[in-house]
Amino acid sequence: MTAVVGPQQALCDQYDAALFDLDGVIYLGPNAVPGASQAVDGLRAHAVRVGFVTNNAARPPQVVADQLNRIGVRSTIDDVVTSAQAAARMLQETLEPGARVLCLGTRALADEISSVGFTLVDSRLDEPAAVIQGYDPDMTWPRVTDGVHAIAAGAQWFACNLDLTRPTDLGLEPGVGTQVNAVRACFPDREPLVAGKPFPALLRETERRLGSQHPIFVGDRLDTDILGAFNTQMDSLFVFTGAHGVRDLVEAVPQERPTHLGYDVRALLAPCGGQPSTDWSHGAASRRYDSSMEHSSWKRFFRGATSNWTSSGQPCSSCGSCPMMVA
């Protein structure tokens, strides 16, 4: 899954598309991450397709594209792929055309489901073939209960993602995962089919829409972004501008270890240095860093982090020994 990159070759030149998580990678709150707009423009100058990927099914792609344009990151509706779109694809691959679907989500999710030919229903009494859950700040207990009874009667169960929290300007708030857990409490031996990261459907849908054969996924969370890339057999770049940091990286299990490390998204345009390592277990990252990490402190951190990824596949248990253990 990992390609050797020449020391003077930009990292992005090894890929035909770059897929980005949004919060913590492209923007932080209402503002763009420094360098994000220049990096996106630079990728297009390298003839690399750009895709923006979000687990959020509550907003339609055009709203996401408008937000990106407002903060200076050029995008169109065709550049944005949401978990609602991936969920609609899953329904198409699973249900009969025109099947009845009970949507426990926002209008954006409902519109996506109906746009591919399914019949939206309002109640379990309409005998839906499937129940789909997406984040909805106005979700009510009667609606959740209706979904439970529909699933108990035989409806297939889908979820846009399992994120327990969602970031807001006021701090973390409950995500759709909490609503999914309310349904799961009634079905302890069942799990929904999930579209969003870290499950493969969302990234595969993005590949399909962009027509990409060899993309790289850029994320700031190891447990959703990097694991999602691993589950999709896709190379990944981990950046330090968002949720996870040094300690998380050092403690990462093999499936959550990125292919590349960079300080921010500009790493895609930088020459890639270092040499691949052959002593990690399957799915682990190579010992590589890009030139955005050429500063000696970054080199010390990189050596310290990767030296604690043992060939046995176990995370480091003595993180304080890392030479660059910082917050």
Amino acid at 20: F
Cβ–Cβ under 8 Å, residues 176 and 159: yes
- How far from 145 is each of 178, 281, 303, 314, CA to CA, in Å? 14, 44, 52, 41
Beta-strand runs (E) in 140-259: 156-159, 165-168, 171-174, 193-194, 215-219, 235-239
Residue type, 109: L
Q: Give the rounded distance of the alpha carbon of 152 from its chain centre.
A: 30
* Cα–Cα distance measured from residue 135 to residue 220, given in angstroms and rounded to the nearest whole number: 21
CA–CA gap between residue 218 and residue 18 (Å, rounded): 7
Rounded Cα distance between 75 and 306, Å, is 35
Nearest to 153 by CA among 102, 109, 117, 113: 102
**Which active-site residues does the annotation give?**
21, 23
Select from 178, 228, 190 the least CA-distant residue to 207: 228
Supply angle C-alpha 161, 91, 116, rounded to 5.
110
Q: How many angstroms separate the CA atoms of 286 and 274, rounded?
A: 9
**Rounded Cα–Cα distance for residues 246 and 326 (Å):** 7
Tokens at 260, concatenated: 């590349």
Distance between CA atoms of residues 268 and 216, nearest Å = 10
